[in-house]
Copies of this chain bind each other. A is one copy, B any other.
Amino acid sequence: MPYVTVKMLEGRTDEQKRALVEKVTAAVAETTGASPDKVVVFIEDMQKSHYAVGGKRLSDAE
């Protein structure tokens, strides 16, 4: 606890994801007082065909 879910378009590299969980964990621990080893991060990759803004999917906007 706390539990952080990051939902983003697929395509980031393994290296980016490694850095993401590290920096987000540090940011959460620093500002909430939670111990870093208690912070849980879930990454959820989205396909462009499953994500729409303004009624148009990113896959259709290309």
Q: Are B16 and A49 in contact (CB under 8 A)?
A: no
Q: How far is the CA of A57 from the CA of B39 in the complex (A)?
A: 11
A16 contact set on B, CB distance < 8 A: 31-33
A7 contact set on B, CB distance < 8 A: 2-5, 42
Min distance, Cβ A56 to any Cβ of chain B, angstroms: 7
A51 contact set on B, CB distance < 8 A: 1, 40-43
- Contact mask for chain A residues 9-24; partner B; CB cutoff 8 A; 1 contact, 0 none: 1001010111111111
Please judge, given known A-B contacts A8-B2, A28-B6, whether A46 and B57 are in contact too, CB under 8 Å. no
Could you tell me which A residues sit within 8 Å of B by CB distance? 1-9, 12, 14, 16-28, 30-34, 36-46, 49-57, 59-60
